[in-house]
Structure 1
Amino acid sequence: MSAWRVQSVAVKLIVEREREIQNFKPEESWKLKVSLNAKWIDFTSELAKIWDKAKKIKNQEDIIKVLSTLWINTDNFQEKKDKKWNIYYEIPLLSDFELIASDKKDSIRTPWAPFTTSTLQQEASRKLGFWVSQTMAVAQNLYQNWHITYMRTDSVNLSDLAIGTSRKFIEENFWKEYSLQEWRKFKTKQANAQEAHEAIRPSYIDKTPENVWLEWNDLRLYKLIWERTVASQMKDAIVETTTYTFSPTLAANQQWITKWEVIKFAWFMKLYMEWTDEENEDAEETNSSTLPEMKNWEFATSRSLFANQVFSKPPSRYTEAMLVKKLESEWIWRPSTYAPTITTIVDRWYVEKIEKKLAPTDIAFMVNDFLEIYFKKMMDYKFTAKIEEELDEISMWKQDWVKMLEIFYEDFKKDLLNSDENALKVVEKVWRECPECKEWELIYKYSKSWKFIGCSRYPECKYLENIVDASKEEYLNTLREKYEGKPCEAGWTIVVKTWRFWPFLASSLYPEVKWIWKIPNEEIMALEEKFGWEKCDKCEEWIMHVKPSRRWPFLACSKYPDCKNAKPLPKE
Structure 2
Amino acid sequence: MKNVVVVESPAKAKTINRYLGSDYTVIASFGHVRDLPPKDGSVRPDENFAMSWQTDERGSKQITAIAKALKGASKLILATDPDREGEAISWHVRSALEEKKLLKGIEVERVTFNEITKNAIAAAMKAPRTLDRPLIDAYLARRALDYLVGFTLSPVLWRKLPGSRSAGRVQSVALRLICEREAEIEVFKAKEYWSVEGLFTTPKKADFSAKLTHLEGKKLDQFALPDEATAHKARDLVRASALSVRKIERKRTRRNPAPPFTTSTLQQEASRKLGMSAQTTMRTAQQLYEGVDLNGETVGLITYMRTDGVTMATEAVQAIRSHINTAFGKDYCPAKPRSYATKAKNAQEAHEAIRPTDVSRTPDAVAAVLTADQKRLYELIWKRSVASQMQSAELDQTAITIGDNTDQTLLRATGSIIAFDGFLKLYIEGHDDKDKNNDDDQNRLLPAMAEGDSLNTKDVKAEQHFTQPPPRYSEASLVKKMEEIGIGRPSTYASILSVLRDRNYVRLEARRFIPEDRGRLVTAFLTSFFQRYVDTGFTASLETQLDDISDGRADWHDVMSAFWQDFSATVAKTKDLKISDVIDALDQDLGNHFFPPRPDGSDPRHCPSCTDGRLGLKLGRHGAFLGCSNYPECRTTRPLTVDNGEDTALPDGMRLLGHDPATGEDITLRRGPYGLYVQRGEPDPEDKKAKPKRATIPKDRNGEELTLKEAIGLLSLPRDVGPHPETGEMITAGLGRFGPFVKMGSIYGTLSKDDDVLTIGLNRAVDALAKKLASIRALGTHPKDGEAVIVRKGRFGPYVQHGQLIATLPKGDSMDDITLEEALALLDEKGKPLKGGLKTATKKTATKKTTTKKTTARKTTSKKAASSPKSKTTTQKAKTAKTKMANTTADKDDMPF
> TM (normalized to structure 1)?
0.74
Q: Does 1:124 align with 2:280?
A: no
How far apart in 1 are the matches of 2:575 and 2:450?
76
- 8 Å CA contact 2:325, 2:333 repeated in 1: yes
Alignment deviations for residues 131-164 of structure 1 (CA, whole Å, 9 cap, x no partner) = 0000000000000000100000000001111110
Cross-structure match for 2:375: 219
2:710 corresponds to which letter in structure 1? L
Cross-structure match for 2:43: none
Alignment deviations for residues 493-533 of structure 1 (CA, whole Å, 9 cap, x no partner) = xxxxx97775453536447744796999xxxxxxxxxxxxx
Cross-structure match for 1:401: 556
Cross-structure match for 1:339: 494
2:399 corresponds to which letter in structure 1? T
Cross-structure match for 2:254: 108
Cross-structure match for 1:64: 232
- Alignment match of 2:205 (pick from 25, 34, 40): 40
Cross-structure match for 1:186: 340
1:193 corresponds to which letter in structure 2? A
Deviates more, 1:122-131 or 1:271-280: 271-280
Match of 2:364, SS state, is coil
Q: Does 1:275 align with 2:452?
A: no
- 8 Å CA contact 2:279, 2:498 repeated in 1: yes
- 8 Å CA contact 1:15, 1:365 repeated in 2: yes
1:41 corresponds to which letter in structure 2? A
- Alignment match of 1:322 (pick from 456, 463, 477): 477
Match of 1:211, SS state, is helix
Alignment deviations for residues 226-285 of structure 1 (CA, whole Å, 9 cap, x no partner) = 000000111011111111111135x74111001111111111000000111216898999
Match of 2:285, SS state, is helix
Cross-structure match for 1:50: 215
Structure 2 gap segments, 5+ residues each: 1-164, 292-299, 584-618, 665-694, 696-702, 719-733, 741-754, 760-897
2:218 corresponds to which letter in structure 1? K
Q: Does 1:3 align with 2:167?
A: yes
How far apart in 1 are the matches of 2:260 and 2:326?
21
Q: Greater Rg, structure 1 or structure 2?
A: 2
Q: Does 1:452 align with 2:647?
A: yes
2:408 corresponds to which letter in structure 1? N
2:280 corresponds to which letter in structure 1? Q
Q: What is the deviation of 1:449? A: 9.8
Match of 1:96, SS state, is coil
How far apart in 2 are the matches of 1:357 and 1:104?
40
The CA RMSD over aligned residues, in Å, is 3.5
Deviates more, 1:298-307 or 1:146-155: 298-307
How far apart in 1 are the matches of 2:504 and 2:324?
48
From the superposition, tell whether residues 386 and 501 of structure 1 become closer, same or farther in structure 2 (CA, over 3 Å): farther
- 8 Å CA contact 1:44, 1:287 repeated in 2: no
From the superposition, tell whether residues 294 and 448 of structure 1 become closer, same or farther in structure 2 (CA, over 3 Å): closer
Cross-structure match for 1:25: 189
How far apart in 1 are the matches of 2:307 and 2:572?
39
Instruction: Report matched runs for 1:404-423 at 5 Å.
Output: 404-423=559-578
Match of 2:264, SS state, is helix
From the superposition, tell whether residues 429 and 324 of structure 1 become closer, same or farther in structure 2 (CA, over 3 Å): closer
Instruction: Report matched runs for 1:468-483 at 5 Å.
Output: none
How far apart in 1 are the matches of 2:409 and 2:219?
10
Cross-structure match for 1:235: 391
Cross-structure match for 2:515: 360
How far apart in 1 are the matches of 2:532 and 2:649?
34
Q: What is the deviation of 1:215? A: 1.2
Q: What is the deviation of 1:454? A: 7.3
- Alignment match of 1:176 (pick from 330, 334, 341): 330
- 8 Å CA contact 1:348, 1:448 repeated in 2: no
Q: What is the deviation of 1:398? A: 2.2
Alignment deviations for residues 292-331 of structure 1 (CA, whole Å, 9 cap, x no partner) = 3222222111111111111111111111001000000010
Match of 2:471, SS state, is coil
2:478 corresponds to which letter in structure 1? L
From the superposition, tell whether residues 264 and 454 of structure 1 become closer, same or farther in structure 2 (CA, over 3 Å): closer
1:368 corresponds to which letter in structure 2? T
- 8 Å CA contact 1:504, 1:518 repeated in 2: no
From the superposition, tell whether residues 116 and 504 of structure 1 become closer, same or farther in structure 2 (CA, over 3 Å): farther
How far apart in 2 are the matches of 1:518 and 1:186?
57
How far apart in 1 are the matches of 2:447 and 2:640?
66
How far apart in 2 are the matches of 1:345 and 1:143?
27
Q: Which has the higher contact order (CA 8 A, sep 6+)?
A: 1
Deviates more, 1:511-520 or 1:305-314: 511-520
2:448 corresponds to which letter in structure 1? E
Alignment deviations for residues 96-129 of structure 1 (CA, whole Å, 9 cap, x no partner) = 3111111001111000000000000000000100
Alignment deviations for residues 441-468 of structure 1 (CA, whole Å, 9 cap, x no partner) = 857478999752879xx9xxxxxx9999
How far apart in 1 are the matches of 2:633 and 2:494?
47
Cross-structure match for 1:158: 312
Q: What is the deviation of 1:409? A: 0.9
How far apart in 1 are the matches of 2:205 and 2:576?
79
1:165 corresponds to which letter in structure 2? A
Cross-structure match for 1:98: 244
Give aligned pairs, total.
463
Instruction: Report matched runs for 1:419-430 at 5 Å.
Output: 419-424=574-579, 426=583, 427=619, 428-430=624-626
Q: Does 1:142 align with 2:297?
A: no
Q: What is the deviation of 1:386? A: 1.2
Alignment deviations for residues 368-397 of structure 1 (CA, whole Å, 9 cap, x no partner) = 011001111111101111111111222233
Structure 1 gap segments, 5+ residues each: 71-92, 459-464, 474-489, 491-497, 521-572
Higher-helix-fraction structure: 2
- 8 Å CA contact 1:143, 1:150 repeated in 2: yes
Deviates more, 1:331-340 or 1:422-431: 422-431
How far apart in 2 are the matches of 1:118 and 1:232?
17
1:123 corresponds to which letter in structure 2? E
- 8 Å CA contact 2:245, 2:452 repeated in 1: yes
- 8 Å CA contact 2:289, 2:302 repeated in 1: yes
How far apart in 1 are the matches of 2:644 and 2:230?
52
Alignment deviations for residues 167-202 of structure 1 (CA, whole Å, 9 cap, x no partner) = 110111112110111111111112421222110000
1:452 corresponds to which letter in structure 2? D
Equivalent pairs: percent with the same residue? 34
Q: What is the deviation of 1:69? A: 3.4
- 8 Å CA contact 2:232, 2:462 repeated in 1: no
Q: What is the deviation of 1:65? A: 2.9
Cross-structure match for 1:373: 528
Alignment deviations for residues 321-379 of structure 1 (CA, whole Å, 9 cap, x no partner) = 01000000010011000000000010001011111111000011111011001111111
Match of 1:377, SS state, is helix
> TM (normalized to structure 2)?
0.48
Cross-structure match for 2:448: 293
Match of 2:403, SS state, is strand
Q: Does 1:255 align with 2:423?
A: no
From the superposition, tell whether residues 283 and 510 of structure 1 become closer, same or farther in structure 2 (CA, over 3 Å): farther
1:220 corresponds to which letter in structure 2? R
- 8 Å CA contact 2:324, 2:330 repeated in 1: yes
From the superposition, tell whether residues 60 and 519 of structure 1 become closer, same or farther in structure 2 (CA, over 3 Å): farther
- 8 Å CA contact 1:41, 1:291 repeated in 2: no
